[in-house]
A and B are shown apart, each in its own frame.
Chain A
Amino acid sequence: IAAGLPGRGRAQDALEPNTWEEITSYNNYYEFGTGKEDPARYAGQLTTEPWSVRIDGLVDRPGDYAFADIMERMTVEERIYRFRCVEAWSMVVPWNGFELADMLDLAGVQEGARYVAFETVLRPEEMPGVSRPVLEWPYVEGLRLDEARHPLTIMATGLYGRPIPNQNGAPLRLVVPWKYGFKSIKSVVRVTLTADEPPTSWNVANPREYGFYSNVNPEVDHPRWSQASEREIGGGLFARRKPTLMFNGYEEEVAQLYEGMDLAENF
């Protein structure tokens, strides 16, 4: 698989992953609260066993797929990816996971499908943050089918070779490394293949600030802050900013997905 992706191996070599502590103590998972430390504090109460993912919509074999059954049929590998939050901070994360395309093939994608919609689990009794209307719950996200099938797009189930902690989206979460972090939806319970562009939570909450694509792009600012630079987590009080890379450094691999598109328009 890596042979088909000339850029990836090279890009990976240069990356120094953030520590386990950094990756698991600074999270945005608003279902557990809006503070960065809230997910680490409260996500422990989320029940992740048993877990199943409903795959439905335009697929040949719709149904509830048990997490264990999915894992049995997937090839898990390590992917060290840059992670760029829309808030202009970033990390490098050593994920373990499998390609989303493989999971979609379990259910068999039908001809008319053009988009993939995702949904996060919603359990008010285990998620203290959802009692507040910060966003509409459950959290939903979406990708175009070609983005979803791109070999860089994975479902992560682990971190540093260990099961992924709840605050990072256990037991499985999407990771789309060339998009802002909020696209990489956590604790997925439903994947729906659709013909039309599905709604996405942040776009519904504030369409002016968050587009459907949300590709990392240093030239298109968030209305309230610049996206030209970012601060890598872990640098302490005197961390320097560094320039943000087009498509978060994955331009070579993904730019062709957006050929001919105005990226300022389709932000």
Chain B
Amino acid sequence: MTPVDRVNAGLRRVPVWPLYILGALPPLWFLWLGLTGGLGVEPIKALEHELGELALQVLVAGLAVTPLRRHLGLNLMRFRRALGILAFAYVFLHLLVWLVLDVQIPAQIWADIVKRPYITVGMAAFALMVPLVATSNDRAVRWLGPRWRRLHRLTYPAVILGAVHYVMLVKGFQIEPLLYLGGILALLMLRIRVPRRLRTA
């Protein structure tokens, strides 16, 4: 048994449900910090940013599952659904903070969505995730059959749009959002299966 096999065997005994509990902690922690001054003197933007970045991080983790299995033999497939649902929850909270605490004015929310490209892109990413979270249960998987896999390829454009949203919203030339976008594109590239005849050429 290789070390990876041993890790995989160990992981099979780890239940998935604690991931949801663990995943609920960061937003609660940020909310607590926001209420008690821990996010600085302008907690609204800080909370919005923390939630958005957290969503991107979990999406990156979700995208890493397949390459890790394919290239290292590490099997985290059982946890992927939880990662996707958590990522959606974070994006939803991020959106909620933007709507309720940040913009506040309903007429301006709609104007922003149609007029500001970075918000349009962010909203598109969110919209793409809605059918994914709605079909993240065993019944939907059975009901959709092979169509489920095709539908869930929407993850890729959703994650790319999420990272582009981050790149577009910063002022000046900043590295961090580009690192997310680069990392995401690299992870997506790792999933591309090179046809056999090209591989031997």
A→B interface (CB under 8 Å): 21-22, 25-26, 30, 34, 36-37, 87, 89, 132-135, 205-206, 223-226, 228-229, 231, 233-234, 236-241
B→A interface (CB under 8 Å): 34-35, 40-47, 101, 103-105, 108, 111-112, 116-118, 168-175
Q: A237, B35: Cβ atoms under 8 Å?
A: yes
Measured between beta carbons, the chain B residues less than 8 angstroms from A241 are: 103-105
Partner of B105, one of A30, A36, A229: A229
Partner of A237, one of B47, B112, B118: B47
- Listed by A's residue number, 10 A-B pairs whose Cβ atoms lie within 8 Å are A25-B40, A34-B172, A36-B46, A132-B173, A133-B173, A135-B173, A224-B117, A226-B112, A231-B44, A236-B35
Measured between beta carbons, the chain A residues less than 8 angstroms from B43 are: 236-237
Q: B108, A231: Cβ atoms under 8 Å?
A: no
Q: B175, A132: Cβ atoms under 8 Å?
A: yes
Partner of B40, one of A37, A226, A231: A37
Q: A226, B101: Cβ atoms under 8 Å?
A: no
Q: A30, B169: Cβ atoms under 8 Å?
A: no
Complex alpha-carbon distance, A226 and B108, angstroms? 8
Q: B118, A205: Cβ atoms under 8 Å?
A: no
Complex alpha-carbon distance, A241 and B102, angstroms? 8
Q: B173, A25: Cβ atoms under 8 Å?
A: no
Complex alpha-carbon distance, A132 and B175, angstroms? 8
Find the B residue at minimum CB distance from A25. B41
Find the B residue at minimum CB distance from A182. B171
Measured between beta carbons, the chain B residues less than 8 angstroms from A22 are: 41
Partner of B111, one of A37, A206, A226, A233: A226
Find the A residue at minimum CB distance from B45. A89
Measured between beta carbons, the chain A residues less than 8 angstroms from B117 are: 224
